[in-house]
Amino acid sequence: MSLPVSDVNKQPDYRTTMELGAVLPKTAEVKDDHLYIGGVDMVELAKQEGTALYVFDEADLTDRMEQYVSNFHAMYPNSDVAYASKAFINKEIYRIAKAQGMYLDVSGGGELAYAQAVDFPMEHIVVHGNNKTPRELEEAISAGVGHIIVDSRIELGRISEIAGRLGKTQDILMRITPGVEADTHEFIRTGCEDSKFGFTVKDDFAFKCVKDVMAAPNVNLVGFHCHIGSQIFALHSFREAVKVMIEFVARVQKEYGLTVSQLDLGGGLGIAYTAEDEPSTIAEFAEMTTSAVKDFCAEYGIELPHLMVEPGRSIVANAGVTLYTVGILKTLPGIRNIVAIDGGMSDNIRTALYHADYEPVVANKAGQKRDRIVTLVGKHCESGDAVACDRPIQTPEIGDIVCVFCTGAYCYTMASTYNGQPRPAIVFVKDGVARTVTRRETYADLMVRDI
């Protein structure tokens, strides 16, 4: 693992923080050269709480949840929105999702345990995973979850056996791999034929498996699920997936006589990670998916199903930022300018995994123009440990507070304790008040399970 080849000809963009547009959290503003989010000074917050530090704009979070729920209900009343826990999880966001009337998409026993800890309605839980263990399945069925997304015939047998032993009939959806090549990074493309997820439509495999599911005892096939990938800008990919799914539903109804009541289209709406990105809005995503369902149901002559979507990244990514303190400055002549911060791949693995791009600013120089090109590297023993490669930023100095935008999704949930680095605290900010919702790990926490 190493840093990508530096673009030595790249020029600064000379933007100020507030010129970064869609990457900014809803309440971001600059006062006296300092970045404020939720009415809280990020520079002072970093000094009080320490860095690295995850910060979430609570108003941004709730606004995006409200947009999802209201748009889908307005355009397709028989619909629900499930928050995809894998993007970001702690008790507080589950409480907020519950208050907004959302469902939850959980993968694994740990995410279900979080839901139980905040008394989330179990009937509003959708359980995912391509290899749910027998223990996780038993926990889910015992808890009374609303739906389990079945990913294979082997899993079908396990659910059937466990539900029968517990004296229950479990509602399930089959995950179908529709063969749609979503326009996104190959690592987060999940709906193509070469995927570990679901029942492929290739060679009619998924259709033939429906018969097995219908015949299995102690389960009730209520619908179908698909998810074509993440960070998708091209909305036509969703329409293509809807066509495949509705055609599949119609064929099942015609040839097997089974009328299913549920269609879950997963998530995947992209967000702006850079100032140049132009993702679709939540309203545009809702219009595209709901109109596609209506159009193709009419074309194939089937009743409109209960519709569900499972957004994660497009709810939490832009609401979250990460604060760091600059510790070391290095210049590699003719190669790159290195700015070392007190975090890195332990709190944001995405850049190391697939060279994700982010917009950084110096929070205590937020009103100034970004006049340098730098690579923000972490503090870990890996050459590829970086958070932002060859990105514009205000001229940094040792002790400056750096803010990296759009880190609300897949940073905390994929964080590690590599090199014995305690994971950062999580602070929610709103109306000038900062509240810690997940405390910073301590050295004692790192060793608490050791014997």
The residues annotated as belonging to the active site are 381
Cβ 28 vs Cβ 21: under 8 Å = no
C-beta neighbour count of 234 within 10 angstroms: 13
E strands of 231-319, at which residues? 262-264, 306-309
Q: Phi/psi zone of residue 193: left (φ > 0), alpha (ψ -120 to 50 degrees), beta?
A: alpha
Which residues lie closer than 8 Å to 4 by C-beta, 6 or more apart? Answer: 355, 389, 390
Give the pair of three-digit tokens for residue 338.
């290195």
C-beta neighbour count of 180 within 10 angstroms: 25
Give the pair of three-digit tokens for residue 370.
């970004």
d(CA 190, CA 178): 10
Q: Specify the amino acid at residue 406.
A: C
Which residues lie closer than 8 Å to 123 by C-beta, 6 or more apart? Answer: 144, 145, 146
Phi and psi angles of residue 359, each rounded to the nearest 5 degrees, phi first: -105, 115
Alpha-carbon torsion (442, 94, 221, 193), positive or negative = negative
Concatenating the DSSP letter of every residue in 316-353 gives: HTTTEEEEEEEEEEEEETTTEEEEEES--TTT--HHHH
The angle subtended at Cα 308 by Cα 214 and Cα 206, nearest 5°, is 35
